[in-house]
Amino acid sequence: MRANQMKTSARPVFPFSAIVAQDEMKLALISSAVDSSIGGVLVFGDRGTGKSTAVRALAALLPPMQAVSGCRYGCDPSAAEAWCEECRERARQGPLKHALVPVPVVDLPLGVTEDRVVGALDLERALAQGVKAFEPGLLARANRGFLYIDEVNLLEDHLVDLLIDVAASGENLVEREGLSVRHPSRFVLIGSGNPEEGELRPQLLDRFGLSVEVSTPVELSERIAVVKRRDEFERNPLEFIAKWKRQDDGLRRRIVAGRKRLHGMVLPDPVLESAARLCMQLGTDGLRAELTLIRAARALASYEQADEVAVAHLRRVAPPALRHRLRRDPLDESGSSARIERAVLEVFGERRPP
Amino acid sequence: MSVESDAAQSAAIFAVDPGTGGVCLRSPLHPARDQWLLMLRQLLPAATPWRRVPFNIPDGRLLGGLDLAATLRANRPVAERGILAEADGGVVILSMAERLTADTVARIAAVLDAGEVVLPREGVTIRNAARIGVVALDEGASDDEYAPIALLDRLAFWIDLGGLSVRVTLQPAHSPGQIIAARELLSRVQISAEMLQALCATALSLGAGSARVSVLALRAARAAAALDGRTRVSEQDAALAGRLVLAPRASIAPEQPGQPQAEEQEKPAHGDKAPEQPAQDGAQKAEAPRAPADAHQALKDMVLEAAQSAIPAGLLARLREQSGDRGARARTGGKTGALRQAGTRGRPAGVRAGTPQGCLRLSVIETLRAAAPWQALRGRSLANGGRVRISAEDFRVTRYKQRARTLTIFVVDASGSSALNRLAEAKGAVELLLADCYIRRDQVAVVAFRGRSAEILLPPTRSLVRAKRGLAGLPGGGGTPLASALDAAHSLAALAQRRGETPTLVVLTDGRANVARDGTPGRELAHAQALYAARAVNLSKITALFVDTSPRPNPLARELAARMHANYLPLPYADARSLSSAVKTMGAGGA
C-alpha cells in the first residue's frame, strides 16, 4: 500500500513511554488499544498538555496487523464476516494474499470536506475517462485503526452526524453522484479538544467510551521533566527514541498480551453488581455506561495480567468511563470527577491500603 | 527595558531559532510594525523564504493539494504545494491574525507542531517539510479581539507595539553576521539543571501558560546565549527569556516573598513560591539536595523579577475581570464560531464558478453543462475518443445557504406584583423585534408566568401576525412562579441550541418569586428554586438579559441575575422601544 509506505518515512514520533504524568490519559488510550470495543477516547483539557503527542505516540506503539494485500479498506484476512465486497470477490477467485501493515491512524482535519471523509466519485477518472469509480475517503482508511479528530468540539455539524452514524454501524454507506457503495469502517474514535472553545453534542459525546481530562502540570518537578524531555527530543529525536525504545517495546508486548488474555478474562458476579450499583448511584442514562465501565475494567485487568476483574479495576476506570455521561446538576457545584469519586466512595467504601 | 529594545531582542532571538514558534505583533497599522518586519527580514539570511498569508486563505493554497486545472491539462494528478510548504525553513506572516478562523489556525498549529504538512489526499499521503516560524500581525482593536489562543500558545514572543509613538525608530540590536554565527553555535548551547528549574518555576508562579510555553522559554534562553556567543545559558539569558516569553502571559500576580498566601483556589499554582511551604520543600528535594535550595530560590527570584518588571500594565487587572467563564470564552476568539460553518452546509442554493478547493464542492452536472457549448471549439471529435473537454473555467461549485438564526425568548412576569403595564411593554418590544426579524431572520418566543404556573404563550416564531394574536389575550395578576418560568424558557433555549441556533433569554420581572414549582405558595422555597433554575440557565451557557422591573433595584433580582450570569438592567420605566434596543445591542455583543 502506497499510503503505508509513506508512513514509515515520516518524521520521528515522540515515544509514548516518555510522556510525563497524565496517567489517566495514558491508561485510557492503552485500554482502548487492548479492547477496541470500548469505543474510543475523548481527551479534553488545557492547551499544550500533550494530547496530540500521546495519540500519535500510541500509533507508533501499536504492533502491525495482517491485512489483505491490495484491499483499499485493509480487511482482516481472518475475519470473513467483516470483508468488503471486493475482498469477497477476491476470495471467490482464490486464497487471499495478505501482508503486515501498520495500524492506520487517520487524522480528520477540522475543515475536511464530506467527500474526503466518506469518499466520492473519482473525479479524475470520471472527467478524463468517463469511468464511474469510487474514490475511498478517510473512513475507508481508518478501518481497523484509529480515527483522530483534534479540536473535535469545533467539528462541523454535518460531519458529526456522519461520524455518529458510521461509528454506530461500523459501515460506511455512500449514496451520491450515482454511486452506491458500502464498505466496512470500524475504527476507534479519538477526539481531543479544549472545552472552553465549545461543547460537544451529547450524541457524539456518548459515542466515546472513555473521557479523560488533562491539565497543565502544576508540580515543579513534573514541569521540569516535561520541558527536559521535550527539549531532548527536539534536539536529537533519533537518539531520544532509541533511549526510550526498551520501555516502548515492553509496553507494546503488554498490550499484545492483554489482547490475547481479554477473552479468557473472568468477570465475577459481585464486580458486575458493583458496576451496576455505581451507575445507579450516579443516575447515568442507558446501559452504555455500564457496558463501557465493565469493558474498560476488563481491558485494564487483562493489560495488567490480573487473574480476574476486581473492584479495584472498576474503581480506576470509573472516572473516565462515566465522567461524560453525568447530567448537569445545578445544585452541585463540584465537577463530574468529584461526583464520581464521591459515588465510588459511597458504593465501594474507603480504599484499602494495597 | 523598553518595548523597542524588547522588540529588537525578540526579532534577533526568533531569527536565531525559528523553532521558538514565532512572534505575535499586536499593533494597528503602524510605522513601527513595518520597521520591525524589515528588521527581521534583514536579520534573516538572504535566501530565507518569506511568505505573507492573507487571513482568508483557502486550504488548498495554505496546505497544498491537487491542482485540478493542471491535473486536467496534464491528464495525471498534479500536486500543488501550499504556502506553508513553500515557506519551509523560513517565515510566514499572518496578516489580520485576529480574524483567522478556528480551522485555519488549527491547520497552522498542526504544521507548527509537526514541522511538516501532511496531506492525505486522493489515496496518497503527501508529506512536505514545513519548518516554519510565524509572525502573526494582530490588529485587534479592543481588549476582547485577539489572535486565536491556539496560535498564540505556540508563539514564544508577544510584542505590543500599540503604545509606541509614530515617530519611533526601531534599532536592530544585532547584525546579520551575528545571527549566522549564533545559529551555528545553537546546537552546542547547554543549560544547567538549576537554570532550567528557575525558568520552570517562574512560569509556574506567573501562571504563564502550558508546559509548551516553558519549552519555548527554554529555547529562547538558549538562543539568547548563542546570540551572545556563549555555550552556556547564563542568568541574563534566563532573565531575558522570562521577560520576553513568560511575562506577557502572566495570569496570576506573583506574590512578593513574605506576603501572606492568596486565597485558597490559587494555592496550587502558588505553592512553589513560598519557601516555608512543606509541599514546596518536597518538590525541591526530589530535584536537588537541600543545601543549594537557597541558591535556586535566589536564581528563580531573579528570573521572576525580570519577568515581573515586564508584565504589561493593566494586564493583571484585565485578567481578573475576565476570570469568569464568559471572559475566557471571549478570549478564545469570539466571532469565528458563527462564521466557521458558512458556505459548507445548509440548503444547496445554486452554483457558481469556482475551483473546488477546501470546503467547496464541485457540482459535476453543472460543470459538464458549462463545458458543453465549447466542445466544438475545443476540438472534441469522435476521432480523439469523444471525451468531453473540460478546462478550469468550467468548474462550478455548489453554494449553500445557511442562516445563523437567533432565538430571543421573552420571559414575562404577568403576576400581580409586577405592574400590569410591563406586559404591554413586553408585547410592544416583541412586536418591534419581530418587525426587525424580517431583515435579521430571528425568531421570538414568549413565556409568560402568573398564578400557579408558566406557559409558553408564543412558541418560537417569525410571524408577526401569530405573535400579535398570541399576545393579545394575556391577562395579568396572581402569584409569581418564577422557577417554573425559567425552567420553561430554559428548555425552549436548550431545544434551540440543539438545532444550532443561538438563544437569548430576556427576563422581565421584579424577581419576587413566591410560588414554588409545584404551585404551592411560599417565598423562601420559591426563591431557592428560582435561584436553582437560574443557575441551570447559566450552566447551559445561554446568554441572558435580566430586566428588573421593580420601582427600585431589587437585591433579590440582582442575585438572580448574577446566578444566571445575565446582564442586569434595572429599568423601572421601560418602554417598548428602549427594551427592544437593549435586546438588540445585547444580541450584537453576545453573538
pLDDT at B339: 34
The C-alpha atoms of residue B476 and residue B318 are separated, in whole angstroms, by 45
CB B146 within 8 A of CB B333: yes
- Predicted confidence at residue B310, as pLDDT, reads 61
Amino acid A51: pLDDT: 82
Selecting from A128, A154, A157 the residue whose C-beta is nearest the C-beta of B387 gives A128
Shortest distance, CA A89 to any CA of chain B (angstroms): 22
B3-174 shares its CATH topology with B406-590 = yes
Instruction: Please give the CATH topology (third level) of the domain spanning B3-174.
Output: Rossmann fold (3.40.50)
- Taking alpha carbons only, the member of B545, B554, B449, B448 closest to residue B503 is B545
Identify all chain B residues contacting A157, using CB atoms and an 8 Å cutoff: 341, 345, 500
Alpha-carbon gap, residue B378 to B367, rounded angstroms: 15
Q: Which one of B146, B151, B231, B364 would you mutate to disrupt binding with A, by most A Cβ within 10 Å of its Cβ?
A: B364
Task: Give the pLDDT score at B591.
Answer: 35
What is the per-residue pLDDT for A250? 92
Query: Parallel, antiparallel, or unpaired: how do β-strands B133-138 and B91-94 relate?
Result: parallel
In the stretch 268-287 of chain B, residues with CB closer than 8 A to chain A read: 268-269, 271-272, 283-284, 286-287
DSSP label of B246: I
The secondary structure of B377-423 as a DSSP string is TTT--GGGTTPPP--GGG-EEEEEE----EEEEEEEE-SSSS-HHHH
Inspect the interface and report whether the beta carbons of B110 and A50 lie closer than 8 Å. Answer: no
Burial of B212 (0-12, 13-18, 19+ CB in 10 A): buried
Q: How far apart are CA B423 and CA B411, in angstroms?
A: 10
Residue B524 confidence (pLDDT): 86
DSSP structural state of residue B190: B
Read off the pTM.
0.67
Q: What is the mean pLDDT of residues A101-127?
A: 76
Which residue ranges make up each domain of chain B?
3-174, 187-252+276-331, 347-401, 406-590
Radius of gyration of chain A (CA): 21
Cβ atoms B155, B21 nearer than 8 A: yes
Residues 53-112 of B with CB under 8 A from A: 59, 68, 71-72, 75, 77, 102-104, 106-107, 110
Q: What domains can you pick out in chain A, each with its CATH number?
A: 2-64+102-214 (3.40.50.300), 263-348 (1.10.8.80)
Q: Which three cell numbers stand for residue A72?
A: 483499499
At residue B461, φ and ψ (nearest 5 deg) are -150, 160
C-alpha–C-alpha distance, residues B330 and B328, integer Å: 5
Residues of chain B contacting A113 with CB distance shorter than 8 Å: 344, 358-359, 361
Q: What is the pLDDT of residue B311?
A: 60
Q: Do B200 and A127 touch (CB under 8 A)?
A: no
Residues of A in Cβ contact (< 8 Å) with B361: 113-115
Grid cell 508512513 is found at: A7
User: pLDDT tens digits, residue range B7-64?
Assistant: 898 999 999 998 888 999 888 888 888 889 999 999 998 888 999 988 778 777 888 7
Determine the residue among B105, B284, B329, B344 to mutate to test chain A binding: the one whose Cβ has the most chain A Cβ atoms within 10 Å. Answer: B344
Closest CA to B110 of B63, B73, B68: B63
With an 8 Å Cβ cutoff, are B212 and A331 in contact? no
pLDDT tens for each residue of A116-147? 788 877 766 666 666 778 888 888 888 888 89
| Mean pLDDT (whole number) for A253-277 | 89
Of A48, A109, A235, the CB nearest to B212: A48
- Residue located via cell numbers 421601560: B574
Q: Of residues A158 and A44, which shows the higher confidence score? A: A44
Contacts of A328 (CB under 8 A, 6+ apart): B536, B539, B540
Instruction: Give the Cα separation of B38 and B189 in Å (integer).
Output: 28
Contact A110/B106, CB-based, under 8 Å?
yes
CB pair distance less than 8 Å for B110 and A109: yes
Distance CA B210, CA B267 (A): 17
Answer whether A109 sits within 8 Å of B361, measured CB to CB: no
pLDDT at position B76, please? 66
Task: Pick out chain B residues at pLDDT < 50.
Answer: 122-123, 256-292, 316-343, 589-591
Query: What is the predicted pLDDT for the residue at A252?
Result: 92
Residue of higher predicted confidence among A192 and B588: A192
CA dist A27 → A151, A300, A311, B128, B243 (Å): 21, 8, 17, 33, 38
pLDDT score for A156 = 73
pLDDT at residue A6, as a whole number: 38
CATH of domain B406-590: 3.40.50.410
Kindly tell me the burial class for residue A270, based on how many C-beta atoms sit within 10 Å of its own C-beta (0-12, 13-18, 19 or more): exposed
Does position A299 have pLDDT exceeding 90, yes or no? yes
φ and ψ at B136, to 5 degrees?
-95, 120
More confident residue, A328 or B90: B90
ipTM score for this prediction: 0.77
Interface probe for B, chosen from A73, A123, A157 (most Cβ of B below 10 Å), is A123
Q: Round the average pLDDT of chain B to a whole number and report it.
A: 74
